[in-house]
Amino acid sequence: MNKKVTIVDTTLRDGMSSVSHQFTPQNVADIARGLDRAGVSTIEVAHGIGLGASSIQYGFAAATDPDYVRAAVDAVDNADIAALYVPGIATLAELQKAIDAGIKTVRVAVHCTEADCGQQPVEWAKEQGLTVMTFLMMSHKLEPEPLAEQAAKLDSYGADVVYVVDSAGAMVPRHAGDRVAALRQAITADIGFHAHNNLGVGIANALTAAENGATFIDGSLRGLGASAGNAQTEVLAAAFERAGWDTGVDLFPLIDTAEHVVAPLMKEPQIVDETALILGYAGVYSTFFHPTKRAAKKFGVPAREILMELGRRGVIGGQEDMIIDVASELAGRTYETPAPAAV
């Protein structure tokens, strides 16, 4: 094999969304230990939305981010522990606490049109000696060339890796490949790809991204993650090996951790249900999954109608308040005035 990719596991961050952010530090330690034994070199840990997100808006976690980081750091022998930093949710003070707890890598996530929002945290993190991976969230919303222009900004700030991120699970393989290829022409940093599985092609998208130049590929055990979940780490490892790639991980320990550690902690199977599918089809951010279901029930409006309207309005992460606005408007349109009482 002369083709190599690095699989990054995000079970303990993106996967937190599948368990309402309720993994305990002991759960984190057990899963991180299994991933480390399998040879996964970078393990992402934090609240599902990232550092500082434990709140009434995004859901309270079972423990603090530093607690989760320390649990993972103490459990591994070789892997680097990473955390997600979203400007506007996290602060540099919270990132410093994660550093003190032992992270070696930070993943700075910005909307795909707002790379400049990442300059401060990227440059600050590099000064602290961290490896910096950057996320262009909702990458499907930009065509390849303008996306590459945004990536070039992150590259200029010092990012070690720039990710094409399919936050909505809206891409098919051609979309993934074209965007990664455009980045490859525009930047010197390594390129990553983060797939969600709303259209059922997360693994195919990841393989196509690698064929076009991505060298970092994200996954999560059992496919845990927001809405339809992520590309499944153990399936990624098997598929990439079959396709002739060296992943540097051992498949069977990954499967064992997925089956015997993660699966018993899952509230329900990670599937592509109607809401998850429409999220991908409409191109809506994956974290809108549970709030949309709640709004649909409260206002008596089909979740698909809410999501399709949100997609038409081009909402992005951080605009979750629009879910209630849209549900309320749709409920008003369908409300029938009662007939007057007979006299």
Distances (CA, A) of 329 to 169, 283, 302, 307: 26, 20, 13, 13
The DSSP H or E segment spanning 254 is: helix 251-257
β-partners of residue 134 are 108, 162
Query: Which of 208, 138, 144 has its CA nearest to residue 167?
Result: 138
13 is in an annotated binding site: yes
Which residue in the block uniquely carries the two structure tokens 């590099």? 126
Tokens of 199: 């259209």
Q: Which amino acid is at 167?
A: S
Q: Would you give the distance in Å from CA 15 to the centre of its chain?
A: 8
β-partners of residue 232 are 220
Neighbours of 117 (CB within 10 A): 17
Largest CA distance in the chain: 86
Q: Give, to the nearest 10 degrees, the angle between helix 274-282 and helix 303-313.
A: 20
169 in Cβ contact with 228 (< 8 Å): yes
196 is in an annotated binding site: yes
Query: Which of 104, 166, 156, 171 has its CA nearest to residue 135?
Result: 166
194 is in an annotated binding site: yes
Euclidean distance between CA atoms 55 and 49, whole angstroms? 10
Annotated binding site: 13-14, 167, 194, 196, 285
Annotated binding site for Mn(2+): 14, 194, 196
Annotated binding site for substrate: 13-14, 167, 194, 285
